[in-house]
Amino acid sequence: MLSIGVDPTRCTRCRRCEAVCEMAHGGDGRGLQSRVRIRDSGWPLISICRHCESAPCADACVSGAIRTDPLEGTVQVDAARCVGCWSCVMECPFAAVTMADVAGRGPRASKCDGCREWGFPLCVRYCPTGALRAGAGAGETSGRVRREHAARLALLPGRGTWPALRG
């Protein structure tokens, strides 16, 4: 899994990332159940999972449905184990975890999985302006630069929400 970086200064609010994400995961392309969301609060706020090194959503999960994949280092949701308690939604500092209806089971946690089944995040591939990017450290090659970038992105550093640095 590649890290996904966000540059809101390049986002034009076209919402292509939302439509592509939903279609890739079986939706109808209207973005209603997309795992990436664009909100506008004067500037575009792109909500997507940063796969935190110490994920508050996983810590809050009472059923163990949200875990860090030991091989990839990504934070993943097992919808079959989710009990729909909303704890993860309330704990995610990036507003990246939402609840989506699972056939016959009601709302279950849903978040970016990096398009594991596609092998590359499709939101990144189809972003026309490069506001979303993927790669080892989302394009940063130096470990020092990546750490500085992570420090700027950490919303609540005291709670371990540093974006995972891989690559």
pLDDT in tens, 55-88: 999 999 999 999 998 887 789 999 899 999 999 9
| Mean pLDDT for the stretch of residues 110-123 | 85
* 15-64 pLDDT, tens digit each: 999 999 888 887 766 656 788 888 877 777 788 888 888 899 999 999 99
Which fold is adopted by the domain 51-111? Alpha-Beta Plaits (3.30.70)
Q: Is the CB of residue 150 less than 8 Å from the CB of residue 163?
A: yes
- The domain limits of the chain are 51-111
**pTM score of the predicted model:** 0.70
> Among 109, 112, 147, 121, which Cα is nearest to 37's?
112
